[in-house]
Chains A and B, each alone.
Chain A
Amino acid sequence: MQKWWSIMFFLMIFPLIYLCINRVFHAIVMYITMNVAIMLVFIYAPTEKMQGIVQKIFYFHVSSAITMFFAFFLVCVASIMYLWKNSDWWDAIALSAAEIGVVFCTLVLITGPLWARPIWGTWWSWDPTLTLTLVLWLIYVAYLMLRIETYDPKRARFAAVLGIIGFVDVPLIRWSVEKWRTLHPKPVLIQEGGTTGLTSAMLLTFLVCLGAFLLLFFYLLRERISVAQSRHALEVLRHDIDEIGVG
């Protein structure tokens, strides 16, 4: 029953985002969803018995993590399309998705320890997913730095290549960290038990949060793409003016 609910919810989200063609409409839908999400998290969702109120971090923490993975996947796809079609639009998508992905990645890396500290007693536990997030952060921050630091006009190509390599590396990193982890002692839970599993109320809350984050992601993506395209248009204009001035 729960599984069908979540699948249906997901299938509804993407057409909704696609229908938000109008920027204002998108902003309104996002605003409403965010508000509903917050209400659900703090008022509707039951407080978990074992972990207490800190468990509520989970809703936004995991939503950020999923959005971040989606963002980096989008970078990979956009990079492949850019190398194939050589169109600036795909390059703008790759850059924007990478930047927003890094923002969400930083959020995951901050909320993760804030959740782990009261539950496990330590700030960091080298958990496979969190470690993967850390490595991805390093790779995509290097992506952004590569964009800024390269003076070669092929910088978009270099970045595209890094975008593809970074994402292809993910399963390898995941596998190797899991093997490595088996040697690392797991931290002992301060509060006994741990999660007791998601009730249906929690699942609904989580899905709404995830939807809100995805809508937010697409909104930020839209804004960032327009910044990237304006910058590019500016460059072209400046180049034109220089040519006319010289000629």
Chain B
Amino acid sequence: MYKNSNSFITLMSGSKIFLQQVRALLAKDLKTEWRTREIFTSMFVFAVLVVVVFNFAIGADTELIRQVASGVIWIALSFASVLGFQRTGQMESEEDSLQGILLALHDRSALFIAKMLAQMLYLLILVLCILPLCGIWFRIDFMTCIGELCATFTLGMLGLSIIGTFFGMIALRTRACEVMLPMLFLPVSIPLTIAAVQATTQLIDGKSLRDIADYLVLIGIFDIVFFFLVIIVFDYIVEE
């Protein structure tokens, strides 16, 4: 059996074929999504629903809503992302095209990176759509700290994408995949949730980058550690 090269080494060497394949897979996923817009629409609608329901559940106290706003946004994003991860993993399961793609790849982790980047893109666009709505509904001005917010959300969405895409591909092979994916992914991403929500809350309260530096460092370490860990074990997941 043809043994694929070690993912870690390939990644580090930045081989040209690898980058080409990642680009190709990413383009395929994005094109499919652009035609149907299925994944993004369901994520957006679900996120909006969560925010609205939370709004009603919390009540009319403006001050209280302002305090919990970042938590609500993050929960809406997490739960919406679960939908996205499931759909992304499912894209290859029809007609078993997964095996075909894997055989064609020089290095299997290209598939993972492509999917993860696609997911991250959807999530970032989702953030761009949800933040203005939340600014209006919760009466928060996000523009004052927009730069730091971008940094926080980018790092956070990266972390979510890494963990979520990976567990999405695992959960797909289980009998109760809609249940297993949140069960696997939410506990593991708790450090991410805690740090991201705290950073956002402090940014809304007017703190500067220096104050939230700790949280960003935590999210950054989370991203790096899990990125490399997942790349190393990805081969074992998809090997037959």
Contacts and interface: CB of A to CB of B under 8 A. Distances in A.
Contact of A172 (B184, B214, B222, B239): B222
Nearest to A160: B236
Contacts of A145: 180, 183
B187 interface: yes
Interface in A148-185: 149-152, 154-155, 157-158, 160-162, 164-166, 168-169, 172-173, 175-177, 179-180, 183
A165 B174 contact: no
A172 B217 CA distance: 11
Nearest to B183: A142
A154 B173 contact: yes
Nearest to B217: A175
A54 interface: no
A176 B190 CA distance: 8
B188 A166 contact: yes
Contact of A149 (B175, B218, B221): B175
B170 interface: yes
Interface string B87-115: 00000000000000000000000000000
Interface residues of B, number: 29
Contacts of B174: 146, 149-152
Nearest to B177: A149
Nearest to A134: B187
Contact of A135 (B175, B190, B215, B218): B190
A151 B175 contact: yes
A110 interface: no
Contacts of B186: 138
Contacts of B236: 83, 157, 160-161
Nearest to B230: A165
Contact of B184 (A142, A175, A180): A142
Contact of A157 (B214, B215, B237): B237
Interface string B221-240: 11001100110010011010
Contact of A179 (B170, B218, B226): B218
Nearest to B221: A172
Contacts of B230: 165
B135 interface: no
Given A150-B173, A169-B191, A175-B218, A180 B198 contact: yes
A160 B233 CA distance: 10
B175 A161 contact: no
Interface in B176-215: 176, 180, 183-184, 186-188, 190-191, 194-195, 198, 214-215
A154 B235 CA distance: 12
A139 interface: yes
Nearest to B176: A149
A168 B225 contact: yes
Contact of B194 (A141, A157, A179): A179
B225 to A, nearest CB: 7
B82 to A, nearest CB: 14
A173 B183 CA distance: 16
Contacts of A168: 225-226, 229
A176 B237 contact: no
A77 to B, nearest CB: 15
A196 B232 CA distance: 47
A141 B195 CA distance: 24
Interface in A101-155: 135, 138-139, 141-142, 145-146, 149-152, 154-155
B237 A158 contact: yes
Nearest to B233: A161
B221 A164 contact: no
Interface of A: 83, 135, 138-139, 141-142, 145-146, 149-152, 154-155, 157-158, 160-162, 164-166, 168-169, 172-173, 175-177, 179-180, 183
Interface of B: 170, 173-176, 180, 183-184, 186-188, 190-191, 194-195, 198, 214-215, 218, 221-222, 225-226, 229-230, 233, 236-237, 239
The 6 closest A-B pairs by CB, nearest first: A152-B173, A176-B191, A138-B187, A172-B191, A176-B194, A149-B174
27 contacts: A83-B236, A138-B183, A141-B183, A142-B180, A142-B183, A142-B187, A146-B170, A149-B175, A151-B174, A154-B237, A157-B236, A158-B173, A161-B170, A161-B236, A164-B229, A165-B226, A169-B191, A172-B191, A172-B221, A173-B190, A175-B218, A176-B191, A179-B194, A179-B195, A179-B198, A179-B215, A183-B198
